[in-house]
Amino acid sequence: MHLVVDIGNTETVVGLMAPEGEVLTHWRLSTGLPRTADEYDHLIHALLARKGVDEGTLVRGVLGSVVPSVTERVRTALAGIIAGPVFTVGPGADLPIRLEVDEPQTVGADRIVNTLAARDLFQRDTVAVDLGTATTFDCITREGAFQGGVIAPGVQVGLEWLGRRAAKLPRVEFRPPDRVIGRRTEACMESGVFFSTVDAIDGMVDRIKAEWNRPDALVVATGGYAELLAPHCRTVERVEPFLTLHGLFLAGRHMAK
């Protein structure tokens, strides 16, 4: 089995992968909590033990990170758990994709492995919408070329901004409202944040398809909020919640050759 780790700004997702690439189980950890390499080691050991995973069956680790301050600590922890190699994915990794952008060295590991996964899974031009701390829109050709995209505020930004800036407004949950027009303050806020996010996704996808001149591009949602938001989005055709984990698995398999 393989252990893959996606370190995002808010959450770190640890995935246990079968040799064929199936996600057997996964865990979400808070990235913001300061932890040492020893603490990550203890935490990952505990997660594996609770699932009854024999650590001797772990033959490879793959790490993708957009938080440099955390990367080496997690890598050190994985190296102490996994007997086999631990690979770190970045812009310089030897992968069967192309970064056709002005500054390829600045492309995040998540966007790199999403490109690799889209190439493997879909074999068609794709707009990958990753709904996490930030909302990213990636333009990926059927041949596996990342041609740029969009980075927008994440889905929680509106709620956090309202809570900080408007003293009389309560904090509310991010969830699909029953109706657009709210009759209480909380309902008004829930509707405003949720449906403005949905409309922003659809509007941005429309603009991307028009400018990219790929009207038939497949629109795939991934990330922590994908399953919540996608059913309400007109433009999203498919949900792949583990697109990034699949891409990390593929990257590790390729780098191990």
Task: Tell whether pTM > 0.85.
Answer: yes
State the CB neighbour count (10 A cutoff) for residue 90: 16
CB 228 within 8 A of CB 236: no
d(Cα 128, Cα 118) in Å, to the nearest integer? 8
Distance CA(174)–CA(238), nearest Å, equals 21
HSE-CB of 132 using CA atoms within 13 angstroms: 25
Amino acid letter for position 135: T
Nearest-angstrom CA–CA distance, 248 and 14: 11
Q: Which of 41, 54, 102, 110 is catalytic?
A: 110
Q: Is 153 in contact with 163 (CB distance < 8 Å)?
A: no
List, in order of start, the domains of the chain with CATH numbers: 1-89 (3.30.420.40), 90-244 (3.30.420.40)
CA 127 → CA 113, 183, 232, distances in Å?
14, 36, 17
Q: Tens of pLDDT along the chain (257 residues)?
A: 999 999 998 899 999 999 999 999 999 999 988 999 999 999 999 999 999 999 999 999 999 999 999 999 999 999 999 989 999 999 989 999 999 999 999 999 999 999 999 999 999 999 999 998 889 999 999 999 999 999 998 877 766 666 565 555 566 778 899 999 999 888 888 898 899 999 999 999 999 999 999 999 999 999 989 999 999 999 999 999 999 999 999 999 999 88
110 a catalytic residue: yes
Backbone angles phi, psi at 173, to 5 degrees: -80, 145
